Amino acid sequence: MEKRSQAELGNEKRNGIDKVSIDMGMSRQSWRLAIAGLNLRGHFFRERWQLLNPGRVVALADDVINSSSMPVVRVSELINRPTNCTAVLVALPVWDRGSLIAELLSAGLSVLVEPPIATSRAEALALFELAHARDVALRVVALRRSEPDFHAAASALGTGRLGRLDALRWYAAEYAVWAGSTATQYRRSETLAVAGPPIFDQLAGLTTAEPHSVWAREFPAEDGFATDIAFQDGSTAYIELRRTARVGLRTGWIMEGAAGSYHQRRIITTTADGELVDESVTADNPSIDPLQELEAMDMLAPMSAAERSRSIVTAGLLESVRRSITTNASVAWDAL
């Protein structure tokens, strides 16, 4: 993972995502999008892009052909038959989309996908290498990077007031009507894949350290999981999510540093006399959301090294948490 100072990291994340090449000329106007997977997420992205740029989405693809105002083709037709699109947003379930992403890249199509890019660290590396070899883009659409708490946490790190980062914690108990159900799209077995990666992506944007080992456990009755991540610099992160709690609680990011702590847009430090000082964090809300950013992006511009590393770490965290739950043992990062 590329090393960055806490100040650089905070400044970089105040606007939500890594800096990207912006081109308001031909590249912005020329790329045409297909959406693969007309589930809830696929329809969400279609409707959002209809508001941003009605002409951007030129094709819809799904293996279940439903009625739509736009013709729907089967997913395989995006690869085997020439279409009008130059990029595909893959909205298929996490466990089902890896081979499709590789096939689309091999066919010379750029790919957009919500975190994670892959379900393993090795697969993410291979997909980035394939995209580079085919001279196409592989990009993350991370909508939850626009959350105010994440921006405030990044801004707190950017002040340098926390000092060396020692621990991060994130906890949520919430009620999801689909949790634990086998009759809906979001089955209990998908909770890790649906709810975990956006938080792993935020974590990979807050810490500059490389993971060392990951331990995790599952809460079947509460449709949740917990994971304890140790980093190579000695810091740790704890993430816990439960999905059947009728009385909800969401902490947001809690960070403990050598010189100060952070929680809910507040920085707490101590004076030389041991007195606690509580100060607010000044953090601008993102001025642009990820889809607007993509609208202004040169799709052929190479992804930054920091963004590429972040995507690989997110995929590796999903892989290691899943493996630890399965084996009931700690997973070494170097063994992935």
pLDDT of residue 71: 75
275 in the same domain as 164: yes
Please tell me whether residues 101 and 249 are part of one structural domain.
no
pLDDT tens per residue, range 40-82:
889 999 999 888 888 889 889 988 766 556 678 888 888 876 6
Domain boundary residue, one of 143, 174, 203? 143
Asked whether residue 4 is assigned to any structural domain, the reply reads: no
Q: What is the pLDDT of residues 194-234, one digit of tens each?
A: 889 999 999 999 998 999 999 999 988 888 999 999 999 99
Can you list the positions of beta strands (E) in the chain?
33-36, 57-61, 72-73, 87-90, 110-113, 138-140, 165-175, 211-219, 224-231, 236-242, 244-257, 260-263, 266-270, 276-280, 331-332
Task: Judge if 126 and 177 occupy the same domain.
Answer: no
**β-bridge pairing 72-73 and 57-61:** parallel
Residue at which a domain ends, from 143, 166, 193: 143
The DSSP call for residue 135 is T
* Bridge-based pairing state of the strands 165-175 and 244-257: antiparallel
In a domain, 232, yes or no: yes
Q: Return d(Cα 116, Cα 99) in angstroms, integer.
A: 14
Q: Which one of 136-145, 225-234, 279-288 scores highest in mean pLDDT?
A: 225-234
> Please, are residues 30 and 110 in contact by the beta-carbon 8 Å criterion?
no
Provide the pLDDT confidence category of residue 31 given band limits of 50, 70 and 90.
confident
Mean pLDDT lowest for which of 26-35, 83-92, 257-266?
26-35
* Judgement on whether residues 49 and 196 belong to the same structural domain of the protein: no
How many structural domains are present in the chain? 2
CATH code where residue 52 lies:
3.40.50.720
Q: What angle do CA 239, 160, 21 make, to 5 degrees?
A: 80
What is the per-residue pLDDT for 131? 95
Say if 6 falls within a structural domain.
no
Which DSSP string corresponds to 162-193?
T-SEEEEEEEEEEE-TTTT-SSSSS-GGGHHH
Rg (CA), the chain: 20
Residue type, 272: A
Identify whether residues 82 and 102 lie together within a single domain: yes
Measured between alpha carbons, how far is 200 from 124 in angstroms, rounded to an integer?
A: 15
211 and 100 in a common domain: no
Residue 159 lies in a domain: yes
Query: Quick one: 258 and 316 in the same domain?
Result: yes
Q: For the full predicted model, state whether its pTM sits above 0.85.
A: yes
Final residue belonging to a domain, choices 112, 127, 143: 143
Residue 247 domain flag: yes
138 with 261, same domain: the answer is no
- Give the strand pairing for 87-90 and 33-36: parallel
Inside any domain, residue 1: no
Q: Are residues 259 and 277 in the same domain?
A: yes
> Do 63 and 99 share a domain, yes or no?
yes
pLDDT on residue 40: 86
Range(s) of the domain holding residue 329: 146-286+299-335
The DSSP result for 42-64, as a single string, is: HHHHHHHHHHH-TTSEEEEE-SS
Domain annotation covers residue 8: no
Residue 230: inside a domain: yes
Examine the domain organization and report whether 263 and 210 are in the same domain.
Answer: yes
Same domain for 169 and 236? Answer: yes
Q: For residue 147, give the DSSP letter.
A: -
